[in-house]
Chains A and B, each alone.
Chain A
Amino acid sequence: MSTATWVTESTRFERNIATSESAWVKWSIIGIAVSFFTLFLLMPLLAVFVEALRKGVGVYFASLVDADALHSIQLTLIAAAIAVPLNLVFGVAAAWAIAKFDFRGKQLLITLIDLPFSVSPVIVGLCYVLVFGANGWFGAWLIEHDLKVIFALPGIVLASIFVTFPFVARELIPLMQAQGREEEEAAIVLGANGWQTFWHVTLPNIKWGLLYGVILCNARAMGEFGAVSVVSGKIRGQTNTMPLHVEILYNEYQFAAAFAVASLLALLALVTLVIKTWVEHRVEQAMKQSTEGASS
């Protein structure tokens, strides 16, 4: 990053006498806001890395290559690799139906898609225990056929899917609604079939939003704690995902090791935010370009 990141040019509000405040008001607001930000967001983030390295680099890496840690990383990756593509396909299908067509009950459908956001992760885990657990609806049948959902990978995947259910759809719906139907109609008039229209016209228009939705979905799937902790059974070396492994280490007072694994998750979060910022930058550039073109 260049120095331009640090010295931002003044905003249109600062250049306008009617929308700017006196210097002391301005710097007080900035001061309070940035202090609050530092206290509640920046310091916890720094704490993760400082605590992880407290006992030295050797302990840090030893904690990461520990067999249980490696297994938890593997399990987390597998669960996300199943959950994210499923939610990706769902998100695209839902956004296509909602953004490109008019039908009754659309608003209700959007609300239902948002529903998982407002359900406590603990309740998500509970739901699946009630359906697939030993005493659940399909419990007896599953035991009979020697299938395990709860305290096994399928349960972890299901919980991850539920928790990250709305992310891709949520990113795409407003984007595709804003783009309207005209370009797709133009493609159809020019003889393209449905698949060609989606692939050559719709997808290029939504790729950045799609990417961001997938990245965020992935970060949340890998980091989910509450829901997964209910369905996983936390069997060390078997059904422990990374966040659960962090918890176990922490409760065993292996703080440095806990923070070491946590730091991987924090890095994932940072990468997610970097990609997000980059995507937003791309979208902004594209918008600026198209408005400049129109006014020339």
Chain B
Amino acid sequence: MSIQVQNIQKRFGSFVALDNVSLDFPSGELVALLGPSGCGKTTLLRIIAGLEQADAGTVLLDGEDASSTHVRERQVGFVFQHYALFKHMTVFDNVAFGMRMKPRNVRPNETQIKKKVHDLLNLVQLDWLADRFPAQLSGGQRQRIALARALAVEPRVLLLDEPFGALDAKVRKELRRWLRKLHDELHITSIFVTHDQEEALEVADRIVLMDHGKVEQVGTPEEVYGHPATPFVYGFLGSVNLFHGRVEDSAVWVGEDAVPHHNTAIAQGSEVYAFARPHELEIVTDPNRTDGIKARVNRVLTFGVSSRVELDGVNGATGQHFEVELSQPQVQALALVAGQIVRLLPSRLKLFERSEAGLGVKR
């Protein structure tokens, strides 16, 4: 089932949770709503479910306005952040709950319910836990039971609120892959909310980036990571080095230092934010060079095959910190020592004019 939200507004008192949000969720996709806490993503999910009411705007399910449809009739599966499993019921009874609550004339009989519950428990690979109580399960198991329970009512869409938020790192990784696999089997339209960019990039077909109640960018993981549309997206996805500068000739001037750039769309003299990923910076040790940004090596960290060099800005970029990612052989070749003055040359630089960037940059 496809979902569309149009011009959704929502405030809590004076706090604007959602500011005129319009989105399309095509049928069968797994979409991530990604953003920092307080960006409105959970509110949007709850509005789609019908757990919250928008102040203005519409939610269309399969093209039909669902505003007047009660949650009970929307046929959505909702997985709560803390699972909301019924503590006093066994795993079996939890999964059977939705079927048992149906009006008598459409309710399946106990044999059908039993079969359905076991099918679902098999699907989430936890059939052997049917008689346990939620308190006796691990976090990852609870998560999968919550999912089985949501699927039991044959929902047309599946909504998951921070599905991996309460789990430890290792279980989280496993469950991510498992959720992706499950979605590929079921192909049910799914939306999940997360604040973890890695999670969104790894699991979702499509990512919706949100900040301060607004949609910043929508796209596939490759698109949003490779071509961030706004400074916020650039800063939010992956680590990044930021320079404040001014465009003059074909260079960006950061204080007395200049780095070359080839973006002709930006007017001469405008103030810009310039972004470069850690692997997009090159370290130059030649003392005779005058281009690039002057920086002092602070320390060199090596783990695995790659190394990270942390530097402090000098000259124009005083007080700023930079990160450069290099391979081990490169680091050895450079033979950096702490306190050494070097120059940083970006191989690729993404510029945003400061006026358009506004206050969106946090990092």
Contact = CB atoms under 8 A, between A and B. Distances in A.
Contact of B71 (A189, A201, A204, A290): A189
Nearest to A204: B88
Interface string A186-207: 1111111100100011001100
A263 to B, nearest CB: 38
B153 A186 contact: no
A183 interface: yes
Contacts of B71: 188-189
B125 interface: no
B31 interface: no
A182 B81 CA distance: 9
A193 B82 CA distance: 22
B102 A191 contact: yes
Interface stretch (B72-80, B266-274, B355-363): B72-80
Interface in A275-293: 286, 289-290, 292-293
Interface in A6-27: none
A294 B133 CA distance: 12
A292 B82 contact: no
Contacts of B343: none
B149 interface: yes
Interface string A124-150: 000000000000000000000000000
Nearest to A293: B135
A296 interface: yes
A66 interface: no
A292 B80 contact: no
Contacts of A189: 49, 51, 71-72, 76-78, 150
A201 B86 CA distance: 7
B338 interface: no
A188 B84 contact: no
A176 B136 CA distance: 23
A200 B77 CA distance: 19
A191 B78 CA distance: 11
Interface string B86-103: 111100000001100110
Given A186-B78, A201-B86, A191 B101 contact: yes
A191 B72 CA distance: 4
A190 B88 contact: no
Contacts of A292: 135
Contacts of A286: 87, 135
B96 to A, nearest CB: 10
Interface string B156-180: 0000000000000000000000000
Given A290-B135, A292-B135, A191 B153 contact: yes
B336 to A, nearest CB: 44
B134 A200 contact: no
Contact of B138 (A205, A290, A296): A296
A190 B84 contact: no
A293 B134 contact: yes
Contacts of A182: 80, 82, 84
A190 B101 contact: yes
Interface in A250-296: 286, 289-290, 292-294, 296
A205 B88 contact: yes
B139 interface: yes
A290 to B, nearest CB: 4
The dominant DSSP class at the A interface is helix
Contact of B84 (A186, A290, A293, A296): A186
B137 interface: yes
Given A183-B84, A205-B87, A290-B87, A193 B136 contact: no
A112 B320 CA distance: 57
A187 B97 contact: yes
Interface string A86-97: 000000000000
A193 B107 CA distance: 14
A183 B87 CA distance: 9
A84 to B, nearest CB: 25
Nearest to B138: A296
A191 B69 CA distance: 12
Interface string B193-212: 00000000000000000000
A118 B153 CA distance: 50
B289 to A, nearest CB: 56
A193 B103 CA distance: 10
A187 B98 CA distance: 7
B86 A183 contact: yes
Nearest to A288: B135
Contact of B80 (A186, A193, A204, A290): A186
Given A186-B84, A191-B153, A205-B87, A293 B137 contact: yes
Contacts of B89: 204
Nearest to B95: A190
Contacts of A204: 86, 88-89
Nearest to A203: B88
A210 to B, nearest CB: 14
B187 to A, nearest CB: 21
A204 to B, nearest CB: 4
A189 B135 CA distance: 22
A190 B137 CA distance: 22
Interface in B45-77: 49, 51, 71-72, 76-77
The 6 closest A-B pairs by CB, nearest first: A190-B98, A293-B135, A182-B84, A186-B84, A192-B101, A204-B88
27 contacts: A183-B87, A185-B51, A185-B80, A185-B84, A186-B80, A187-B86, A187-B101, A189-B51, A189-B76, A189-B150, A190-B98, A190-B152, A190-B153, A191-B98, A191-B102, A191-B153, A192-B72, A200-B97, A201-B86, A286-B87, A286-B135, A290-B134, A293-B135, A293-B136, A293-B138, A294-B135, A296-B138
Interface of B: 49, 51, 71-72, 76-78, 80, 82, 84-89, 97-98, 101-102, 133-139, 149-150, 152-153
Interface of A: 182-183, 185-193, 196, 200-201, 204-205, 286, 289-290, 292-294, 296
